[in-house]
Amino acid sequence: MSITINARAQRLVIPGIRQFANQLAYYPDAINLTIGQPDFPTPEAVKEAGIKAITSNQTGYSHNSGLLELRIAIRDFFADVYGLDYNPETEVIVTNGASEAIDAVFRTILEEGDEVILPAPLYSGYEPIITMCGAKVVYLDTSVTQFRPSPDRLEDLITDKTKAVLFNYPSNPTGVTLSKEEVDELVDVIEKHDLFVISDEIYSENAFEGEHHSFAAYQNLKDRLFLIHGLSKSHSMTGWRIGFVLGPESVMEHVVKIHIYNVVCASVPGQYAAIEALRNNRHVPALMNVAYKKRRDFVYERLMEMGFDVVLPKGAFYIFPSIKRYNLSSLEFATRLLKEGGVAVVPGSAFTHYGEGYIRISFAYSMDVLEKGLIRLEHWLNQEHMKEVIS
């Protein structure tokens, strides 16, 4: 065909997470530990609110920024839990999941030749949006600092082309969280430079120990910070596709235009369900976290017993063990584990090349699934052909 398409679109690839998860169709008996999706059902009251919206014909368009009642609920949640102050009429937009929020923000702020700093390894969904905007990703390597971004390394990467820095904590794929002191040090660097901050805190309600410290709590960043959030992880609402972005009015008036031309508005029944989640079901994440912490501790202890070098995750529902003692790439390791051992994990290289030498295991699955998966992993590692590859 002689008609051409966007060269940047041609260069995009299916995310490594999905590539590997899709292989499971060919291995129906494999234990799947790949996807970061809560195995809990959406809370009953939240489902009922969505159903009620449908049966009462609340199925038309909402305000482009979302139902005002929902935006007020979002404002109230962040005010009550994190002490943040946002105007629900001008500084809050309801989006089709956190992913659309990220897309709208990047397409609003980025121009050709801009640079965006991303701590890595990290979720693979950011870079394609940045490159589609004609901007360049600059990676901040955290693999040598226990997956925590070094303020000094961040300072060294900032140039006159740096338009933004993005943080995702608790982190996908490492489960690492940041202390207040660590956030303070990063903010000290950022406030010296003229750049935007995008803080993806979708896992903030899945922090297991201590408090979550939001970058949005720093008043000196408020006029250039975008807080990305949603209900997919906290309330097991991945398929409802309700996210939100909070940011400065002066820029949000432009973000909403990108949002309008992309999706018009978020699903209205989903928005009514979100109101119920934020108003009357704030306790749900804590209940889920009890199970996640038990699962985390089990997986961590079993991996340590098998000889893996692994950092204990403090949030999200992922663990990121090192496989560097094996003379295999992360893709080779994960592929052989699936084919020979019957367990699907995600190769660390799916989270940029700084994730090479690791695999990601999701513990968003039931204890029964985790127990079976780790028994299979241990059995596979103890086979003679695997013992031979240990360095």
Helix, strand, coil tally for the chain in percent (to 5): 45, 15, 40
Helical residues (DSSP H) of 12-111, grouped into ranges: 16-22, 44-55, 68-82, 97-109
Return mean pLDDT, the chain. Answer: 95
**311/232 same-domain check:** no
Q: Which CATH number covers residue 331? A: 3.90.1150.10
Residue 8 has pLDDT above 90, yes or no: no
Q: Would you state the pLDDT for residue 299?
A: 98
**62/205 same-domain check:** yes
φ and ψ at residue 377, rounded to 5 degrees: -60, -50
Residue 384 has pLDDT above 70, yes or no: no
3 state DSSP class of 17: helix
**74/111 same-domain check:** yes
The Cα–Cα gap between 207 and 285 comes to 9
Residue 304: inside a domain: yes
Categorize the per-residue pLDDT at 17 as very low, low, confident or very high, splitting at 50, 70 and 90: low
**263/296 same-domain check:** no
**55/92 same-domain check:** yes
**11/60 same-domain check:** no
Residue 102: inside a domain: yes
φ and ψ at residue 102, rounded to 5 degrees: -60, -45
Long-range contact pairs involving 154-159 (C-beta distance under 8 Å, separation at least 24): 154/117, 154/186, 154/189, 154/190, 155/189, 157/117, 158/117, 158/189, 158/193, 158/195, 159/115
Domain limits for position 70: 44-280
Q: Please state, as a whole number, how many other Cβ atoms lie within 10 Å of the Cβ of residue 297.
A: 13
pTM of the full predicted structure? Answer: 0.94
Residue 367 has pLDDT above 90, yes or no: yes
**63-85 pLDDT tens trace:** 999 999 999 999 999 999 999 99
**90-107 pLDDT tens trace:** 999 999 999 999 999 999
**302-361 pLDDT tens trace:** 999 999 999 999 999 999 999 999 989 999 999 999 999 999 999 999 999 999 999 999
**373-383 pLDDT tens trace:** 999 999 999 98
